[in-house]
Structure 1
Amino acid sequence: MDRREALRRTAWIMGGVISAPAIMGVLKGCTAKPTIDWKPVFLSEEQGILITQVADIIIPKTDTPGAKEVGVPGFIDLMLKDVYSKEEQDKYLNSLKAFNEAAEKEHGDPFIELSPETQTAFVKKLHDEVVKDKSENAPAYRPFIMTTKELTMLGFFTSEVGATQVLQYVAVPGSYKGCLPLAEAGNGKTWAT
């Protein structure tokens, strides 16, 4: 018998005396909390988990490694720490907070506790909203969505995997062939720069 079944039977025996919030609290405590395999230097651990999940939604693992597998979340963390100004860092963190608050408002839980399917749908929905709304009154989470997307793409396509397995790559290019069908010129892949 698993824990859920034991709680259900206990509640039935007690005549439903255990409240629904108490049962939900116990059941929620049974789910594994997400973790990360890198140490954030700028972000908190919870923010690092959130960034990892969002980057993995932007570039998921397919027949090639995804953003998470090539270390993009750590890249984002370092870029925020070393390249962005204090003002830009604060704007990003405030926007990240607004993103998480929007997830809690819509789904009742912080983003990192949502199911993968719900996370994907939520990120896609918010991304589509901010792409359409370019006004000054854009949602507060717009900088988070757009900066995370930009840094995910930059980190992935400048990684060895992104440059060699996803983009067309020749370490030492050969001779110039000016008139080739596209199918013979890299099978339609864009060149790595």
Structure 2
Amino acid sequence: MDRREALRRTAWIMGGVISAPAMAGLLKGCAPKPSIDWKPSFLSNDQGILVTQVAEIIIPKTDTPGAKEIGVPGFIDQMLKEVYSKEDQDKYLTSLKAFDEEAKKEHGDPFIELDAEKQTTFVNKIHSAVVADTTENAPAYRDFLMKTKELTLLGFFTSKVGASEVLQYVAVPGSYKGCIPVSEAGNGKTWAT
């Protein structure tokens, strides 16, 4: 017997005493909470999970590793802690909170508790809105999304995998060959410099 059937039978035996919100809470409370395999030093654990999920949406795993697998979320955490000013850190955290509140408003749950499809749809929708609105009255979550995107791309393309498997990389370039076929010039990949 599965959990839903057990709850349904219990409610029937009790004469329907269990309310709908209590039932929903019981069903939702049994879902596993997402986790991360790195320890944030600047962000809280839940913020680290959120940043990890957004970074993986920005650069998902394909035939090459995604942002999460390379360790980009840890890179973002370190950049925020070590490089950003206190003012920029506070702005980022405030914007992250606004992003999560927008997810709650739209879906009824925090971003980290949404399923992967809803997360991807939400990030794409928010990203389109943020890119389209260049006014001073841009949504409060703009800073979080754009800085996370910037740091995800920076972390990914400066990693060994990003620089060598996605971009072309030659530590010490060879001689100049002015007129060669594209297939010999990296098949159209941009150089990692």
What's the TM-score bracket when you normalise by the shorter of the two chains? over 0.9
Indicate the residue corresponding to 1:38 in structure 2. 38
Q: Deviations over 1:62-111 (max 9, x none)?
A: 11110000110000001001100011011100000000000000000000
SS at match of 1:69: helix
Inter-partner Cα distance in structure 2 for 1:107 and 1:123: 13
Matches within 5 A, 1:12-23: 12-23=12-23
For structure 2, the residue ranges without an aligned partner over 5 or more in a row are: none
Indicate the residue corresponding to 1:105 in structure 2. 105
Deviation at 1:11, TM superposition (A): 2.0
For structure 1, the residue ranges without an aligned partner over 5 or more in a row are: none
Q: Quote the RMSD (CA, aligned, Å).
A: 1.0
Indicate the residue corresponding to 2:138 in structure 1. 138
Inter-partner Cα distance in structure 2 for 1:29 and 1:192: 46
Deviates more, 1:113-122 or 1:13-22: 13-22
Inter-partner Cα distance in structure 1 for 2:93 and 2:57: 19
Matched, 1:60 2:23: no
Instruction: Look up the equivalent residue of 1:19 and give its one-letter code.
Output: S
Inter-partner Cα distance in structure 2 for 1:103 and 1:177: 52
Matched, 1:27 2:32: no
Indicate the residue corresponding to 2:166 in structure 1. 166
Matched, 1:70 2:70: yes
TM-score (norm 1): 0.97
Inter-partner Cα distance in structure 2 for 1:36 and 1:163: 25
Q: Deviations over 1:91-135 (max 9, x none)?
A: 100000000000000000000000000000000000000000000
Matches within 5 A, 1:143-162: 143-162=143-162
Instruction: Look up the equivalent residue of 1:85 and give its one-letter code.
Output: S
Deviates more, 1:175-184 or 1:43-52: 175-184
Number of residue equivalences = 193
Deviation at 1:51, TM superposition (A): 0.3
Inter-partner Cα distance in structure 2 for 1:15 and 1:122: 40
Indicate the residue corresponding to 2:128 in structure 1. 128
Deviation at 1:15, TM superposition (A): 3.5
Deviates more, 1:152-161 or 1:18-27: 18-27
Indicate the residue corresponding to 1:188 in structure 2. 188
Inter-partner Cα distance in structure 1 for 2:108 and 2:92: 23
